[in-house]
Structure 1
């Protein structure tokens, strides 16, 4: 299994979030660094500026395009 901390070592200006926990007009939260990423689950590595920031419609749409 890969831990979030491993991904963040290669992407220090980003945080990892679980796509299942993202909702329109809700704040984006980071997954804890010691948590293991689960196979088959969709995650995003987002800019630190988005942390604790409500997702706007255009941001959600852009992420949906990337996920498909």
Structure 2
């Protein structure tokens, strides 16, 4: 007999014009996904800014401007693991949300509250743009 654990994935949903977030058991698409590439610049306690790019670009163009930070694809982040870094040669895809976070913050495994906090920050930041 084995133990099976799954990490919840956070989805952002749009309900009648109201944004809400909830935990889902499976990976899925964001409803109301932005058309461009979205990079959310965060530090340990707040969103600094939201950057929306109309065209796909290589990750190194963002990373090179922020040497003590890493870029993470929001869909690859999960509870109990460190935020996976997007390689510099990867092309950032339209409709995807990326977090640019301090390297030190990204080196620690994400807890459920931290992942939820990032989802709330993203939802709030995207609602304001």
Instruction: Give me the TM-score of the superposition, normalised by structure 1.
Output: 0.85
Greater per-residue strand proportion: 2
Moved over 6 A (4+): none
Q: Distance in 2 between matches of 1:8 and 1:15?
A: 7
Partner of 2:88: 33
Q: SS state of the match for residue 99, structure 2? A: strand
Instruction: Give me the TM-score of the superposition, normalised by structure 2.
Output: 0.48
Matched positions, count? 68
Q: Distance in 2 between matches of 1:13 and 1:3?
A: 18
Greater per-residue helix proportion: 1
Tell which has more relative contact order, 1 or 2 (C-alpha 8 A, sep 6+). 1
Bigger Rg over Cα: 2
Structure 1 unmatched ranges of 5 or more:
none
Structure 2 unmatched ranges of 5 or more:
1-55, 124-129
